[in-house]
Amino acid sequence: MTDAAAIDSAQRQKIAREIGMPATAFVDDIGAGWIRAQFMSTVMELPMCGHGTICLFTRLLESGLLTLDDNGSGSVELRLPKTTATVSLSRRDDDRSRVMLDIRPPEFEPPPPHLGTLLTLLGLDAAALNAELPLETARGDFIHLVVPLTGLAAMRAIRPDFSGMIDFCRANGIETIAVFCREVENPANSIHVRDFCPAVGVSESAAAGTTNAALASYLLRHGLLPTNTDNISLNAEQGLELGRPSSIQSLVTLANGGIARLQVGGVATRVFDGQVYL
Protein backbone atom coordinates (compact mmCIF):
# COMPACT_ATOMS: atom_id res chain seq x y z
CA MET A 1 0.00 0.00 0.00
CA THR A 2 1.63 3.22 -1.19
CA ASP A 3 -0.30 5.73 0.95
CA ALA A 4 -0.47 4.07 4.36
CA ALA A 5 0.55 6.82 6.79
CA ALA A 6 -2.92 6.99 8.35
CA ILE A 7 -3.20 3.22 8.90
CA ASP A 8 -2.28 2.20 12.45
CA SER A 9 -0.42 -0.96 13.46
CA ALA A 10 -3.53 -2.92 14.41
CA GLN A 11 -5.17 -2.20 11.06
CA ARG A 12 -1.98 -3.08 9.22
CA GLN A 13 -1.86 -6.46 10.91
CA LYS A 14 -5.49 -7.11 10.00
CA ILE A 15 -4.85 -6.16 6.38
CA ALA A 16 -1.76 -8.37 6.16
CA ARG A 17 -3.67 -11.27 7.68
CA GLU A 18 -6.58 -10.75 5.27
CA ILE A 19 -4.30 -10.60 2.21
CA GLY A 20 -2.49 -13.69 3.45
CA MET A 21 0.79 -13.14 1.60
CA PRO A 22 4.25 -13.75 3.10
CA ALA A 23 4.73 -9.98 3.37
CA THR A 24 2.60 -6.86 2.92
CA ALA A 25 4.36 -3.52 2.44
CA PHE A 26 2.96 -0.27 3.85
CA VAL A 27 4.54 2.95 2.53
CA ASP A 28 4.28 5.89 4.92
CA ASP A 29 6.18 8.55 2.98
CA ILE A 30 8.43 9.07 -0.03
CA GLY A 31 11.09 11.75 -0.22
CA ALA A 32 14.08 12.67 -2.37
CA GLY A 33 16.23 9.55 -2.28
CA TRP A 34 14.35 7.75 0.49
CA ILE A 35 11.11 6.01 1.38
CA ARG A 36 9.69 5.15 4.80
CA ALA A 37 7.84 1.84 4.97
CA GLN A 38 6.93 -1.16 7.10
CA PHE A 39 6.60 -4.86 6.26
CA MET A 40 4.04 -7.09 7.97
CA SER A 41 3.55 -10.84 7.72
CA THR A 42 0.27 -12.46 8.69
CA VAL A 43 1.43 -12.64 12.33
CA MET A 44 4.07 -9.95 12.98
CA GLU A 45 6.10 -6.97 11.81
CA LEU A 46 9.10 -8.03 9.76
CA PRO A 47 12.30 -6.15 10.66
CA MET A 48 13.54 -6.55 7.07
CA CYS A 49 12.16 -8.30 4.01
CA GLY A 50 14.19 -9.09 0.91
CA HIS A 51 11.48 -10.37 -1.42
CA GLY A 52 9.11 -7.69 -0.12
CA THR A 53 11.64 -4.99 -0.98
CA ILE A 54 12.04 -6.26 -4.54
CA CYS A 55 8.27 -6.31 -5.05
CA LEU A 56 7.74 -2.93 -3.37
CA PHE A 57 10.36 -1.07 -5.38
CA THR A 58 9.27 -2.72 -8.62
CA ARG A 59 5.75 -1.47 -7.95
CA LEU A 60 6.96 2.04 -7.07
CA LEU A 61 8.90 2.20 -10.34
CA GLU A 62 5.96 0.88 -12.37
CA SER A 63 3.62 3.45 -10.83
CA GLY A 64 6.01 6.37 -11.34
CA LEU A 65 6.41 7.09 -7.63
CA LEU A 66 10.12 6.36 -8.11
CA THR A 67 12.15 7.04 -11.27
CA LEU A 68 15.58 6.04 -12.52
CA ASP A 69 18.18 8.50 -13.73
CA ASP A 70 19.19 8.98 -17.37
CA ASN A 71 21.54 6.01 -17.10
CA GLY A 72 18.72 3.74 -15.96
CA SER A 73 19.88 3.40 -12.37
CA GLY A 74 19.21 4.81 -8.91
CA SER A 75 19.85 4.43 -5.19
CA VAL A 76 17.21 4.85 -2.49
CA GLU A 77 17.41 4.64 1.30
CA LEU A 78 14.77 2.29 2.70
CA ARG A 79 13.75 3.47 6.16
CA LEU A 80 12.04 0.80 8.23
CA PRO A 81 10.94 1.13 11.87
CA LYS A 82 13.96 -0.80 13.18
CA THR A 83 16.65 -0.29 10.54
CA THR A 84 17.64 1.40 7.30
CA ALA A 85 19.18 -0.07 4.16
CA THR A 86 20.34 1.01 0.73
CA VAL A 87 18.38 -0.23 -2.28
CA SER A 88 20.13 -0.09 -5.67
CA LEU A 89 17.96 0.05 -8.78
CA SER A 90 18.79 -0.56 -12.42
CA ARG A 91 17.04 -1.17 -15.72
CA ARG A 92 17.95 -4.41 -17.48
CA ASP A 93 18.28 -4.83 -21.24
CA ASP A 94 14.78 -6.35 -21.31
CA ASP A 95 13.46 -3.14 -19.65
CA ARG A 96 12.67 -4.90 -16.37
CA SER A 97 13.78 -3.36 -13.10
CA ARG A 98 16.51 -5.04 -11.05
CA VAL A 99 16.32 -4.36 -7.31
CA MET A 100 19.27 -5.11 -5.01
CA LEU A 101 19.00 -4.69 -1.23
CA ASP A 102 21.95 -4.15 1.09
CA ILE A 103 21.90 -6.72 3.91
CA ARG A 104 23.89 -6.64 7.12
CA PRO A 105 26.25 -9.66 7.07
CA PRO A 106 25.17 -12.18 9.70
CA GLU A 107 27.15 -13.52 12.61
CA PHE A 108 27.38 -17.29 13.02
CA GLU A 109 27.02 -19.42 16.11
CA PRO A 110 26.43 -23.12 16.90
CA PRO A 111 23.00 -24.54 16.10
CA PRO A 112 20.43 -25.62 18.69
CA PRO A 113 21.33 -29.01 20.19
CA HIS A 114 18.11 -30.81 19.22
CA LEU A 115 19.23 -32.33 15.90
CA GLY A 116 16.97 -35.36 16.20
CA THR A 117 13.93 -33.15 16.66
CA LEU A 118 14.89 -31.06 13.63
CA LEU A 119 15.27 -34.11 11.41
CA THR A 120 11.88 -35.39 12.55
CA LEU A 121 10.31 -32.02 11.70
CA LEU A 122 11.81 -32.21 8.21
CA GLY A 123 10.81 -35.85 7.77
CA LEU A 124 14.43 -36.84 7.11
CA ASP A 125 17.05 -39.12 8.61
CA ALA A 126 20.65 -38.22 9.39
CA ALA A 127 21.89 -39.59 6.05
CA ALA A 128 20.23 -36.63 4.31
CA LEU A 129 22.62 -34.17 6.00
CA ASN A 130 25.79 -33.13 4.21
CA ALA A 131 28.41 -34.53 6.56
CA GLU A 132 31.08 -32.20 5.16
CA LEU A 133 29.29 -29.02 6.26
CA PRO A 134 28.02 -27.97 9.71
CA LEU A 135 24.60 -26.83 10.79
CA GLU A 136 24.92 -23.26 12.01
CA THR A 137 22.74 -20.39 13.17
CA ALA A 138 23.11 -17.18 11.15
CA ARG A 139 22.08 -14.14 13.15
CA GLY A 140 21.36 -10.93 11.22
CA ASP A 141 18.16 -9.04 10.45
CA PHE A 142 16.58 -12.49 10.79
CA ILE A 143 17.85 -15.56 12.61
CA HIS A 144 18.28 -18.53 10.26
CA LEU A 145 19.14 -22.11 11.07
CA VAL A 146 21.30 -23.20 8.11
CA VAL A 147 20.85 -26.88 7.23
CA PRO A 148 23.03 -28.34 4.42
CA LEU A 149 21.70 -31.45 2.68
CA THR A 150 23.38 -33.96 0.37
CA GLY A 151 21.45 -33.16 -2.79
CA LEU A 152 18.16 -32.74 -4.62
CA ALA A 153 16.82 -36.17 -3.63
CA ALA A 154 17.07 -35.18 0.03
CA MET A 155 15.49 -31.78 -0.69
CA ARG A 156 12.54 -33.43 -2.41
CA ALA A 157 12.17 -35.99 0.40
CA ILE A 158 11.38 -33.27 2.97
CA ARG A 159 7.99 -33.67 4.59
CA PRO A 160 7.71 -30.62 6.85
CA ASP A 161 5.82 -30.60 10.14
CA PHE A 162 4.92 -26.90 10.19
CA SER A 163 3.17 -26.93 13.54
CA GLY A 164 6.15 -28.61 15.15
CA MET A 165 8.50 -26.15 13.43
CA ILE A 166 6.72 -23.23 15.06
CA ASP A 167 7.31 -24.70 18.52
CA PHE A 168 10.91 -25.64 17.68
CA CYS A 169 11.79 -22.21 16.30
CA ARG A 170 10.21 -20.32 19.18
CA ALA A 171 11.87 -22.54 21.76
CA ASN A 172 15.31 -22.07 20.17
CA GLY A 173 15.15 -18.44 19.07
CA ILE A 174 15.08 -19.34 15.36
CA GLU A 175 12.98 -17.55 12.76
CA THR A 176 13.57 -19.59 9.60
CA ILE A 177 14.97 -23.03 8.80
CA ALA A 178 17.11 -22.51 5.70
CA VAL A 179 17.73 -25.84 3.98
CA PHE A 180 20.02 -25.96 0.95
CA CYS A 181 22.13 -28.20 -1.24
CA ARG A 182 24.75 -27.55 -3.89
CA GLU A 183 23.15 -29.85 -6.46
CA VAL A 184 20.87 -27.76 -8.70
CA GLU A 185 18.24 -28.24 -11.36
CA ASN A 186 19.41 -25.27 -13.44
CA PRO A 187 23.17 -25.32 -14.09
CA ALA A 188 23.19 -21.50 -14.13
CA ASN A 189 22.55 -21.61 -10.36
CA SER A 190 24.89 -22.53 -7.54
CA ILE A 191 22.54 -23.66 -4.76
CA HIS A 192 19.03 -25.05 -4.35
CA VAL A 193 17.11 -23.59 -1.41
CA ARG A 194 14.03 -24.31 0.66
CA ASP A 195 13.22 -21.91 3.51
CA PHE A 196 10.66 -22.85 6.16
CA CYS A 197 9.27 -19.85 8.05
CA PRO A 198 6.04 -20.80 9.88
CA ALA A 199 7.20 -19.03 13.04
CA VAL A 200 7.07 -15.69 11.19
CA GLY A 201 3.88 -16.33 9.27
CA VAL A 202 4.61 -18.32 6.09
CA SER A 203 5.01 -22.08 5.93
CA GLU A 204 7.59 -22.06 3.12
CA SER A 205 8.95 -19.08 1.22
CA ALA A 206 9.19 -19.22 -2.56
CA ALA A 207 11.89 -16.52 -2.57
CA ALA A 208 13.76 -15.28 0.49
CA GLY A 209 16.25 -12.43 0.26
CA THR A 210 17.61 -12.31 3.80
CA THR A 211 17.93 -16.11 3.82
CA ASN A 212 19.92 -16.20 0.59
CA ALA A 213 22.20 -13.43 1.82
CA ALA A 214 22.86 -15.51 4.94
CA LEU A 215 23.56 -18.58 2.78
CA ALA A 216 26.03 -16.61 0.65
CA SER A 217 27.84 -15.61 3.84
CA TYR A 218 27.80 -19.23 5.04
CA LEU A 219 29.27 -20.52 1.77
CA LEU A 220 31.99 -17.89 1.85
CA ARG A 221 32.74 -18.71 5.49
CA HIS A 222 33.29 -22.38 4.61
CA GLY A 223 35.45 -21.80 1.55
CA LEU A 224 32.80 -22.66 -1.03
CA LEU A 225 32.93 -19.37 -2.94
CA PRO A 226 35.91 -18.10 -4.95
CA THR A 227 38.03 -15.53 -3.13
CA ASN A 228 40.39 -14.67 -6.02
CA THR A 229 38.12 -11.73 -6.83
CA ASP A 230 36.73 -8.83 -4.82
CA ASN A 231 33.23 -9.28 -6.25
CA ILE A 232 31.33 -12.55 -5.99
CA SER A 233 27.94 -13.29 -7.58
CA LEU A 234 25.85 -16.24 -6.39
CA ASN A 235 22.59 -17.39 -7.99
CA ALA A 236 20.12 -19.52 -6.03
CA GLU A 237 17.03 -21.40 -7.16
CA GLN A 238 14.08 -21.54 -4.78
CA GLY A 239 10.35 -22.25 -4.81
CA LEU A 240 10.49 -25.15 -7.25
CA GLU A 241 8.82 -27.54 -4.81
CA LEU A 242 5.99 -25.00 -4.44
CA GLY A 243 5.44 -24.64 -8.18
CA ARG A 244 6.67 -21.03 -7.89
CA PRO A 245 10.24 -21.11 -9.23
CA SER A 246 12.38 -18.12 -8.25
CA SER A 247 15.91 -16.98 -8.96
CA ILE A 248 17.69 -14.94 -6.29
CA GLN A 249 21.05 -13.23 -6.77
CA SER A 250 23.47 -12.44 -3.96
CA LEU A 251 26.43 -10.10 -4.49
CA VAL A 252 29.37 -10.15 -2.08
CA THR A 253 32.06 -7.46 -2.10
CA LEU A 254 35.24 -8.42 -0.25
CA ALA A 255 37.81 -6.16 1.38
CA ASN A 256 40.56 -6.84 3.93
CA GLY A 257 39.63 -10.51 4.15
CA GLY A 258 35.96 -9.93 5.02
CA ILE A 259 32.62 -8.88 3.61
CA ALA A 260 32.55 -5.17 2.83
CA ARG A 261 29.11 -5.25 1.22
CA LEU A 262 26.38 -7.88 0.93
CA GLN A 263 23.46 -7.42 -1.46
CA VAL A 264 20.57 -9.62 -2.49
CA GLY A 265 17.83 -9.19 -5.04
CA GLY A 266 16.50 -9.80 -8.51
CA VAL A 267 13.40 -8.89 -10.49
CA ALA A 268 9.74 -9.21 -9.52
CA THR A 269 6.81 -10.36 -11.65
CA ARG A 270 3.29 -9.13 -10.94
CA VAL A 271 0.89 -12.05 -10.51
CA PHE A 272 -2.34 -10.23 -9.58
CA ASP A 273 -3.86 -6.85 -8.68
CA GLY A 274 -6.52 -6.04 -6.13
CA GLN A 275 -8.09 -3.41 -3.90
CA VAL A 276 -8.56 -3.30 -0.14
CA TYR A 277 -11.50 -1.36 1.30
CA LEU A 278 -11.01 -0.16 4.86
- Within 8 A by CB and 6+ apart from 58, the residues are 97, 99, 267, 268, 270
- Of all residues in the chain, the percent with pLDDT exceeding 70 is 100
Q: What angle do CA 198, 214, 235 make, to 5 degrees?
A: 100
Res 278 pLDDT > 80: no
Kindly report, residue by residue over 107-129, the tens digit of the pLDDT: 999 999 989 999 999 999 999 99
End-to-end CA distance of the chain: 12
Name the class of domain 107-266.
alpha beta
- 9-101 CATH: 3.10.310.10
- pLDDT of 22 reads 87
- pLDDT of 109 reads 96
Residue spans of the domains in the chain: they are 9-101, 107-266
Its pTM surpasses 0.85: yes
158 band by pLDDT with thresholds 50, 70 and 90: very high
Distance CA 174, CA 152 (A): 24
1 band by pLDDT with thresholds 50, 70 and 90: confident
Q: Do domains 9-101 and 107-266 have the same CATH topology?
A: yes
Q: What is the mean pLDDT of the chain?
A: 94
- pLDDT of 257 reads 81
Cβ atoms 121, 161 nearer than 8 A: yes
- Within 8 A by CB and 6+ apart from 101, the residues are 50, 53, 54, 78, 85, 86, 87, 209, 263, 264, 265
195 band by pLDDT with thresholds 50, 70 and 90: very high
